[in-house]
Amino acid sequence: MSESRVSNPETRTRRPSYLLQAWLVIFLSALYAVILVSIQINLSEKIEANKKKKTFAQIPTLVDGADPSKTRELMIEGKDGKPATVLQVFDANGQHIGWVFPGKGQGFGDVIALLVGLDRNAETLTGISVLEQKETPGLGNFIEDEPFRSQFVGKSTSVPLAVVTGEPARPQDIRALTGATISSKAVCDIVNQSVQLYRAPALDAGK
């Protein structure tokens, strides 16, 4: 009898064991994937809820006299063709007094996310707030501080803002933070882009 015809009992017992292990690995991988997706969905919902709460808390500082409880969320299509949510802001008497636009762009360290406050015609900036930033501590992170942010209040949206390293000479000039020109320019670029993308669509949607 040839060697190839000899049945090996050890081989016969191993095959079911290998199959069982393979199916077990597949099952555990699928279960792990389902758990990860579930966790991600729950975390995403919590993150979005916290982001919305933080956004609404900033409204009174972005538009003077605003009543956050009367804020109206509007879904619009920006000029880049992408959907966005803008906030139509009202006072306690229900009068439309301003807007809050989102803004996001690359800073020196990472992405910077802003809220941009404007008057009811979106012609004048009424404030900005930093939602997210990872700029250099002691330098770029000062974009969050009032001395820098206050420069934007009262600026016209008819002319793009520009960063300068010296004393501002024009109405659209924003003085850069010392040692953080890139972060300062990033904020100005984000504000300019936000206004350019959302001003016209928001005014149309808010009529």
Q: Can you give the pLDDT at residue 180?
A: 97
Q: Where are the domains of the chain?
A: 57-205
Neighbours of 28 (CB within 10 A): 10
Q: What is the pLDDT of residue 16?
A: 62
pLDDT computed for residue 25 by the predictor? 81
- Name the residue type at position 86: V
* DSSP codes, 34-100: HHHHHHHHHHHHHHHHHHHHHHHHHHHHHSTT--GGG-EEEEEE-TTS-EEEEEEEE-TTS-EEEEE
Which structure tokens are listed for 38? 């579930």
pLDDT at 3: 43
Confidence (pTM): 0.78
Query: Please, what are the averages of pLDDT over each run of 10 residues along the chain (207 residues)?
Result: 47 62 79 78 70 89 96 96 97 97 97 98 98 96 97 97 96 97 98 98 94
